[in-house]
Structure 1
Amino acid sequence: MRSPLPVRDGVGATRLHLPRTGPWPTVSDYMVERFFHLDAEQLRSRFDRGEIVAFDGSALSRHTPLGAEEFIWYYREPPVELEIPFQVEVLHQDDDLVVVDKPHFLPTTPAGKYVQNSALVRLRRLLDNPDLAPVHRLDRATAGLLMFSARPQTRGAYQMLFQQRTIEKVYEAVSAKPAGWTDPFPLTVRLHIEKLRAQVCVDVDHDREPNSETLIELLSEDDHVIHTLLHPHTGKMHQLRVHLASIGAGILHDNLYPVLTDERPDDHDRPLQLLARELRFVDPISGKPREFVTRRSLQYAPR
């Protein structure tokens, strides 16, 4: 469903699905209750200014009855953001595809307190392309290769590469060397991973059929760390972090696995030691093989 509002300053409008019936006489009453953490009169004043619109772009008033519209659009009020002092590097750009090297700490898309400081918004502004959209995602803490569709007409073809697992992804990671270390690699880890609502971390159920799989190989080691190459066969949330933690080799500076720690400000000197290193696939538009390799490296990898 295409937004009636254009991308503004690199950020698309938010779409809200409204209930058809309920105890709220008007759309504005429903929004005041749903977004109870916002000032009610300030929210209603956005209706007065014509900032809440219907599918056809017409403005709703604070008196528009509930049920008059199923979807509405509006721009989120931009949060006050701390600048993330790392840049996205464009590795490839053509009419259909943009491939970038994402730094640690930068989210793929706007979320929570990060809007302008997201790879998507920065790239839309840099490339002057409001149609830019991610084909897949990396965690905010993970650096490396990230692909974006440059136009809607061919976006689905690139998304299918990931859905059908016809793209080869390679990562690398650095972990603290486990006590009593003996090299078990190459090793294939298979686990059942599930993301439950309202939980930050995923759950691992050892009694259920595995739904995630990663081949892990050793690249190098020293007295303190091991440097591994990761070949994920599936793409579950936090899969690589969970798989390494499950063999006692949790990734350096991971604040989620194996133990969830209290949220704290980013320490730019201690990035998560996980890097999306390589992407290989047959281009669904040209039919030609493609290969991209990151220019980044993990600072704690043995030299």
Structure 2
Amino acid sequence: MRDGVGATRLHVPLQGEWPTIAAYMVERFFHLDPERLLVRFDRGEIVARDGRPLARDTPLGAEEFVWYYREPPVEKEIPFDIDVLHEDGDLVVIDKPHFLPTTPGGKYLQNSALVRLRNRLGNPELTPIHRLDRATAGLLMFSARPETRGAYQLLFENRRVQKVYEAVSARPDGWEAGLLPLVYRNHIAKHRGEVCVQVDDDREPNSETLIELLAADDRRVHTLLRPHTGRMHQLRVHLAALGLGILNDGFYPELLPEAPDDFGRPLQLLARELRFTDPLSGADRVFTTRRSLQEAPQHDSAVSGA
């Protein structure tokens, strides 16, 4: 672990047209400057399983896997802090801000919840148990040690965690409060190379959300969302399908051109609550966010007049 970031493992073919491991990596990472990559070999930054540095002339076939650290990108600072709500020897729960990714990826490395938390707590074994979209704020759970990680991961795999979200949408013309609550279902699929998920109305539903009304005024609708399944972008897709696309969503109902983050206009989606029976102690666990959605109407708004 280096600055909260683990090494990346790369599989290298044992035979092929490349005379050296370095030659394979130059072709594999064609988008990088070749000499810059070769200098990393010279600096001892590309290593074998035992940590032994590999030279730029190490022949192909000498190692099946190599390890290296990603070179930190020039990152735009995400100017929001994580709040640690709970910490013990097995579990850490945080309040993630909008715009911060859960894990490193793409142009974000140090500006990820995982790396920030590892550096803050000095625990390189921290691992997220589930995920939140970069645009979504709220509760996020991390395993503190490998020995008990699987027990918490199974809670999510077996749908034994009750998750509650909030969202704020623009109020459509003619919308009536009596339409909620309702259970919405459809079939969601994620295809390789596409940033948005696709809905297939001809297939059996594989996603389900209970949608309830918290408040509404003449411009906005504030909903409580209880997902029964955890499909990618499920809540955003379900609300958009009902004409209640979440405020500041650049993906649904319409994919907008990529633009720089506008920190004044976060996606109005919040992971509000997590409930489960602790698999280690048997105790009931309830965690609640301290964050709120800036566009939410007041709860004494005239819902009855909707």
- Give the structure-2-normalised TM-score: 0.95
Mapped partners of 2:237, 2:13: distance in 1: 38
Q: Which residue of 2 aligns with 1:254?
A: 249
Residue 83 of structure 2 is aligned to residue 89 of structure 1: yes
Q: Which residue of 2 aligns with 1:276?
A: 271
Q: Aligned Cα RMSD in Å?
A: 0.9
Match of 1:170 among 159, 164, 168: 164
What stretches of structure 1 of length at least 5 have no aligned partner?
Answer: 1-6
Residue 227 of structure 2 is aligned to residue 232 of structure 1: yes
- TM-superposed deviation, 1:23: 2.1
Residue 201 of structure 2 is aligned to residue 206 of structure 1: yes
1:137-178 C-alpha deviation (Å, 9 max, x unpaired):
100000000000011111111111111101100000000111
Q: Please give the secondary structure, in 1, of the residue aligned with 2:25.
A: helix
Mapped partners of 2:173, 2:15: distance in 1: 60
Mapped partners of 1:225, 1:38: distance in 2: 47
Letter in 2 for 1:268: F
Q: Which residue of 1 aligns with 2:303?
A: none
1:76-127 C-alpha deviation (Å, 9 max, x unpaired):
1001111111000000000000000000011111111111111111111110
Residue 48 of structure 2 is aligned to residue 22 of structure 1: no
- TM-superposed deviation, 1:27: 1.2
Mapped partners of 2:38, 2:295: distance in 1: 51
Residue 110 of structure 2 is aligned to residue 121 of structure 1: no
Match of 2:137 among 129, 140, 143: 143
- TM-superposed deviation, 1:65: 2.2
- TM-superposed deviation, 1:66: 2.2
Mapped partners of 2:96, 2:85: distance in 1: 10
Letter in 2 for 1:290: R
Q: Please give the secondary structure, in 2, of the residue aligned with 1:123.
A: helix
Mapped partners of 1:209, 1:24: distance in 2: 48
Letter in 1 for 2:35: E
Mapped partners of 2:11, 2:207: distance in 1: 33
Letter in 1 for 2:183: T
What stretches of structure 2 of length at least 5 have no aligned partner?
Answer: 299-306
Corresponding pairs, count: 297
Mapped partners of 1:19, 1:185: distance in 2: 56
Higher alpha-carbon deviation: 11-20 or 200-209: 11-20
Identity of aligned residues (%): 72
Residue 34 of structure 2 is aligned to residue 40 of structure 1: yes
Letter in 1 for 2:208: E
Mapped partners of 2:49, 2:188: distance in 1: 38
Mapped partners of 1:204, 1:11: distance in 2: 36
Q: Which residue of 1 aligns with 2:60?
A: 66
